[in-house]
Structure 1
């Protein structure tokens, strides 16, 4: 067992408890300055075949798939044909739909 003594600082502890209380009550938000968060990696690119497979697994036509992703039907078709590649928020949503297809369907209820 490690015999290293830990110094307890009551002021630091009380400050931390107040920070948690303020965040939970909505008085304080989490920011990059106030918190150390492990940010997620950027999603890996998806190939046209992966996008087509995802749409088929969801049993959706291209227009319905596009509507569920809030993109134009031409955009979804161009992803599947390889003319364009999804990036940014669209790629993130595709990856979420791939891992948790129910999340895409739940977005309809909102």
Structure 2
């Protein structure tokens, strides 16, 4: 429900911009506010995401375009995903590994 309300508000903001009521800079600032929050994951959660997909660390790493060693370190908690890897993990957590296939 929250997403559909946010989508409706965002569509309204775009319409206001097209009508000349909202300037482009304000629309860009609004766009940033509408981006989904990127969650951070603890080691056990990363492992749970991978196991739910029924893949090995090597296969999971290949989907995320990283190394098996990196996935192992995430799952052991000695390293934390960040940047693009964290965004991809959020997508996989929400939509499943097939989203990257």
TM-score, normalised to structure 1, is: 0.62
Q: Deviations over 1:30-87 (max 9, x none)?
A: xx63723234254221000000000000000000000011111111110001110001
Match of 2:43 among 35, 45, 48: 48
Supply the distance in 2 between the matched residues of 1:106 and 1:85 (Cα, whole angstroms): 22
Runs of at least 4 residues off by over 2 Å:
32-36, 38-42
Over alpha carbons, which structure has the higher Rg? 1
The size of the alignment, in residue pairs, is: 80
Aligned with residue 66 of structure 2, among 63, 71, 75: 71
Instruction: State the alpha-carbon separation in 2 of the partners of residues 106 and 41 from structure 1.
Output: 17
The 5-angstrom pairing of residues 22-101 of structure 1 reads 33=25, 35=27, 36-37=30-31, 38-40=33-35, 42-101=37-96
RMSD: 2.4
Q: CA deviation at 1:105?
A: 1.8
The structure richer in helix per residue is: 2
TM-score (norm 2): 0.67
CA–CA distance in structure 2, aligned partners of residues 34 and 73 of structure 1: 43
User: 5+ residue gaps in structure 2?
Assistant: 1-14
> Secondary structure of the residue that 1:76 maps to in structure 2?
helix
3-state SS in 1 of match to 2:70: helix
